[in-house]
Amino acid sequence: MAFVGFSNVKYNTKSPHVVCLQTSKRERRWTTCFHGNRSCFLGQRQPFIPTPLRRRADLKMTAQTKEAGSEAKEKTFEFQAEVSRVMDIIIHSLYSHKDIFLRELVSNASDACDKRRFLSVSGGSAADNLEIRVEADKEKKQLIISDTGVGMTEQELINNLGKIAESGTSKFVEALGQGKADVSLIGKFGVGFYSAFLVADKVEVTSRSLQSDKTYRWESHSAKNYTVSEAPEPLESCGTRIVLHMRDDSEEFLEPFRLEQLLKKYSEYISFPIYLWKSRTEFEETEEPKEGEETATDSEKKAEKRRVPKTVWDWELVNKNKPIWMRKPSEVTKEEYEEFYKSIAHAYEEPLAYSHFSAEGEVEFRSVIFVPKSLPFELSQDMFSDQSKSIRLYVRRVFISDSFTDLFPRWLTFIRGVVDSEDLPLNVSREILQQSRVARIIRKKLVRKTVDMFEELSKRDNNDYDTFWTNFGKYIKVGVLEEDDRSIRDELTRLCRFFSSKSGDKMTSLDDYVSRMKPTQKQIFYVTAESLSAARSLPIIEKLKSLDYEVLFLSEPVDEFMIGNIPSFKGKREKEENGEKKQVEEEFRLVNVGKEGETVDLPELKEEKPNEETSKELEPLTKWMSELLGKRVSKVVSSSLLTDSPCAVVQSRMGISPTMERFLRAQKGDSDRMSAFMEAPVLELNPKHSVVRSLLEQVKKHPDSSDTRDLGMLLYETALLTCGYSIEEPSSFAKRVSHMMNLAFSGNGRAEEHSNDSTATSIETPQVEVVQDGNNT
């Protein structure tokens, strides 16, 4: 079995301990993870400072030989004090879960089989029966893991198992110095063997090397010391046999069901067969005499066939599935991809799209990624749930984790798939992906392939992309907001879909919007609203709709954050040049129609803008409304974008939209404090509307009348409702509406009564002059 370590790497542990940086063959630099300035090993009172005179073998064990009898000799090796403390760190602080031990030991067994296969092929012979077997003995409380790999000699047992982080396999690769493609299969994992002490008090390793006929046994009790001797019972062929004497708190790992569960989780795709000793129930038929009536004799009793359960123990193959990402895409069928997706994503339906690729060059890895057809359940509860297992990370087909967040950005958390790499820099326990250039390159290539898959999906003639956008459109918008790569962000922008004033019940892309633009149009128009129906009824877009200009509707909270990252868009539209129609690419600025200061550049509006006379004529009303509303609005102006509505409330230059205001209030909770930082909206009046003209006349005649003030407030509050804003005092608004309704009904009643009795009144009653009070209408 090959046990491999790391060189020139940090020992990253989850608890504060010493970290050794080996900068050269003769120099070591020691740092500490403690909050203080003393570098002490676990349990050591004084700081450990290696001296220049310390040998390079300071992590080795000093050997002492003692007589075990007159004939045989047993070699006992003591750990040095410093090494003992490092072992304590490895066993108790390096791993967060005890079940990792099985992954590490099976991975080492796989490395040993790889090693033997390579040596056999290079030597011209064949390596048969390369396999791994796992067996649990509950009575003896033993777990046995054996392989038919390359095995180890006595000296290799001392070197590979007696030195911390000794890289046996890496030395093997360096010695070969050739054949990178084949050698890459050989593992380079390090201190994983010592994870056995997480669950075992005593560990026995019996091994026979491919290059020797002798079998040796390595034995250690609680990682205090170890002995190496010639095994009393030699192995029949080369290989290694590990016996773990389990602790009382680790007896769960003696259950075949639990072992099978862990083997399928971590080692399902190892290239060598893994057999587990387990039981199964079989039924066999037996003949039993059927008892008849009491008068029947024994000879008359009939025989009856009966099925009797029987427990049978046998070796069962665990890793039946094959890693499809290791095969060429042309060799994998669509059905195989779908079945593989269902197994890793625990889904019942086929994926919308998938991509199978490999990367070569500075970084080598293989991957298969899938786009689900529906939103995973955990993401329906939380958009970025920590429970979502996006990508399963493998290193040489050994499962490492599905919780790494560095391989995919969070806006791709809905993607499912696997990544298998030879170059990922993991910490010693292989539970943390270290930040490095390799990880960034893999991330970049994965994002690139995923976006290409989205683009291919958008070009399909069916409704697949509509299904994709319905479920995952908000993630694409978050990608536009968070992605640092400008090229990726531009492609995500093209993938976005929006409803518009011309799209009806279907959504449109920015490319399609540009293709429908009028020749004179130079901007892309959009509005924000709480819902699609609210956006369609906004008064501010009435003029643009009447002039047949298309307006995009942004009705999701993330839209306003996203649109800030899209100041302009490059698209192609048809133009006539020299008598020929050509597709010309132009850059268009996105304009929020519902925001003050956003100039809508259209020739039709330039002709219809309110002139100085109109503005001056409306000035008494705008000034009166400003005084009436006070801090509720930043200003009152005349508008050229209104046709059917008398007025509209729009976002001020430094303000926020009503949708964003509600979102921020819900986040902060302190509405009064939020209001202090919000610039009030702008009230725009339609100078051509009859209501505005009537109110202007009323203001000129009775500016201080309570009814006039109620009319002004009612006009402003109805504009708030139609534009998506909230009314601060709904009860006051309701009272004003009721008051106006009473005036209308009482006025109609008096007019009707006066019409019916006009003749009688003119004869019987003398005409009386009515003088209106200045405070009443």
| Pick from 91, 146, 150, 95: nearest CA to 119 | 150
Instruction: Tell whether residue 168 is among the known ligand binding residues.
Output: yes
Instruction: Tell whether residue 152 is among the known ligand binding residues.
Output: yes
Residues 6+ apart with CB under 8 A from 74: 66, 68, 227, 228, 229
Q: What whole-number distance in Å separates Cα of residue 493 and Cα of residue 491?
A: 5
- CATH code of the domain made up of 497-607: 3.40.50.11260
Of all residues in the chain, what percent are helix, strand and coil, respectively (each to 5)? 40, 25, 40
Q: What is the mean pLDDT of residues 161-168?
A: 58
pTM as predicted: 0.69
| Pick from 271, 287, 300, 267: nearest CA to 192 | 267
Instruction: Tell whether residue 104 is among the known ligand binding residues.
Output: yes
Instruction: Tell whether residue 240 is among the known ligand binding residues.
Output: yes
Instruction: Tell whether residue 167 is among the known ligand binding residues.
Output: yes
Question: 288 pLDDT band (50/70/90 cuts)?
Answer: low
Residues 6+ apart with CB under 8 A from 92: none
pLDDT, greater one: 708 or 124: 708
Q: Which amino acid is at 295?
A: T
Whether pLDDT at 383 is above 50: yes
CATH code 3.40.50.150 for 72-274: no
Instruction: Tell whether residue 69 is among the known ligand binding residues.
Output: no
Question: 466 pLDDT band (50/70/90 cuts)?
Answer: very high
Question: What residue segments make up the domains of the chain, in order of their start?
Answer: 72-274, 324-458, 497-607, 610-746
Whether pLDDT at 120 is above 60: yes
Question: Which two structure tokens, joined as six digits, stand for 658?
Answer: 């009503």
Q: What whole-number distance in Å separates Cα of residue 61 and Cα of residue 58?
A: 8
3-class SS string, 122-174:
HCCCCCCCCCEEEEEECCCCEEEEEECCCCCCHHHHHHHHCCCCCCHHHHHHH
Give me the sign of the Cα torsion angle 221, 225, 228, 229. Answer: negative
| Domain 610-746, second-level architecture | Up-down Bundle (1.20)
Instruction: Please give the distance of CA 772 from its chain centroid, rounded to a whole number.
Output: 72
- Phi-psi sector, 725: left (phi>0), alpha (psi -120 to 50), beta: beta
The pLDDT tens digits for 331-347 are 999 999 999 999 888 88
Task: Decide which of 3.20.20.70, 3.30.230.80, 3.20.20.20, 3.40.449.10 is the CATH code for 324-458.
Answer: 3.30.230.80
The pLDDT tens digits for 216-238 are 999 988 767 889 999 988 898 89
Q: In the chain, what is the greatest distance between 2 CA atoms, to the nearest angstrom?
A: 151
Q: What whole-number distance in Å separates Cα of residue 81 and Cα of residue 58?
A: 10
479 phi and psi angles, rounded to 5 deg: -65, -40
- The length of the chain in residues reads 777
Is residue 107 within 8 Å of 190, Cβ to Cβ?
no
Ranking 392-396, 486-490, 589-593 by mean pLDDT, the lowest is 392-396
Question: Which two structure tokens, joined as six digits, stand for 395?
Answer: 């290193």
Residues 6+ apart with CB under 8 A from 327: none
- Of the ranges 422-431, 516-525, 656-665, 751-760, the best mean pLDDT one: 516-525
The pLDDT tens digits for 576-608 are 777 788 888 899 999 999 888 777 888 777 666
% of the chain with per-residue pLDDT over 70: 73
The pLDDT tens digits for 407-462 are 889 999 999 999 998 766 655 445 555 556 778 888 899 999 999 999 999 999 88
Q: What is the mean pLDDT of residues 547-564?
A: 90
Q: What whole-number distance in Å separates Cα of residue 500 and Cα of residue 507?
A: 7
